[in-house]
Amino acid sequence: MRSVLRYDQIQGNITPGLRKDHQAFMLLRLPARGAAGAWLKALAPSVTSAREVREFLRRRRTYNASDEQIATWHTKWVNIAISWDGLAALGAPGIDEFPADFREGLRRRAEAQLNDENIDRWEIGGTTDREAHVLLILAADTEADLNAEIGRQQSLAHSYGLKELTTYCGAQLGGSLAGHEHFGYRDGISQPDKELPGAAPA
């Protein structure tokens, strides 16, 4: 039986990939549960779905849009990733079902796996109060639009008491990403949105 993917319920960075030239990565710590939940509720309408990204790509193909035309659309995309500790801070149910390596988190995994006396000096995650609960992935077609979205998300986060640990953007990642994700790989080149007949669901 072929499964049907709910593109409106999947983040756009999962499939087909954000593929924007300008991206930023905001690392945040959550406040007390009530404020954290209120922030997430306020953020939710701006999280970009796979359906929105697919519609953008269809529009770009239909109009054979140039980079200059696309810039006038002022498209800004937001996706979110949450650590196990972040899910716990939000009071999410069922989180003990996750694998142990995800539950332990980066710092505790590093302490168990690495012989590295410098872990406590890591810029992010070296100590409990520097561990990120949330990663916001922000993307746009122009630097100006990206900066506007960074400012909007910073204001929203701060208004609900989130702590911004840091925000990395294009200049710190080698300039424009030109359709590549932050590790330098071409974004969206391999995605789980197609299934062969009889294959396990993506």
User: How many CB atoms are closer than 10 A to CB 120?
Assistant: 12
What is the full per-residue pLDDT of the chain (202 aa) written as tens digits? 567 889 999 999 999 998 898 999 999 999 999 999 999 999 999 999 999 999 999 999 999 999 999 999 999 999 999 999 999 999 999 999 999 989 988 888 887 777 777 888 888 887 888 999 999 999 999 999 999 999 999 999 999 999 999 999 865 554 555 655 655 666 555 555 555 555 555 4
Q: What share of the chain is helix, strand, coil (3-state, %, to 5)?
A: 45, 15, 40
- Residue 56, Cβ density class (10 Å: 0-12 exposed, 13-18 middle, ≥19 buried): buried
Domain extents for the chain? 14-173
Chain centroid, CA 58 distance in Å: 22
The residues with which 168 forms a beta bridge, in sequence order, are: 25
What is the spatial distance between Cα 93 and Cα 82, in angstroms, rounded to a whole number? 14
Dihedrals φ, ψ of 166, to 5°? -170, 165
